[in-house]
């Protein structure tokens, strides 16, 4: 947080992404219900920052990504104001309707999304 004149404080990041590792495909729906439905982390983060007396940037957003390729339980990515002005990430959900896959539903939110037939890009 940045200190402003007259004792005010400002949270400088217009967007925060919390990436949460999902240990198995079976747990994805539970994690989505806990961490994504109703924006519980965003609501709690806003409340905590406001309790600390911090002003939030206009349009502040907290996005939660559920990922299976993280080597730790979670990761927090703070977006800089300049990057937010230039970037507009797509957010899509893909459902497997026919055939088989490791998961029945995939969520993506990135600038570039590569879709192929294999789980990993080689």
Give the model's pLDDT for residue 103: 85
Give the model's pLDDT for residue 106: 84
**If you write DSSP's letter for every residue of 29-70 in order, what string do you get?**
HHHHHHHTTT-HHHHHHHHHHHHTTEEPPTT-EEEEEEES--
pLDDT digits (tens, 9 = 90+) for 21-80: 999 989 999 999 999 998 899 899 999 988 988 888 888 889 999 999 899 999 999 988
Could you state, in order of their start, the residue ranges of all structural domains in the chain? 2-87
Give the model's pLDDT for residue 47: 92
Q: At what angle do helices 28-35 and 40-51 cross, to 10 degrees?
A: 30
pLDDT tier at 94, thresholds 50, 70, 90: confident
Give the model's pLDDT for residue 32: 92
């Amino acid at each position: 947080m940045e200190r402003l004149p007259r004792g005010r404080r400002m949270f400088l990041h217009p967007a925060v992404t919390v990436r949460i590792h999902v240990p198995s495909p079976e747990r994805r729906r539970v994690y989505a219900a806990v961490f994504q439905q109703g924006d519980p982390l965003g609501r709690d983060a806003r409340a905590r920052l406001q309790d600390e007396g911090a002003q939030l940037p206009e349009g502040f957003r907290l996005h939660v990504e559920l990922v299976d390729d993280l080597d730790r339980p979670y990761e927090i990515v703070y977006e800089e104001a300049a990057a937010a002005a230039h970037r507009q990430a797509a957010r899509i959900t893909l459902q497997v309707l026919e055939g088989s896959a490791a998961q029945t539903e995939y969520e993506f939110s990135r600038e570039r999304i590569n879709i192929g037939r294999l789980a990993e890009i080689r």
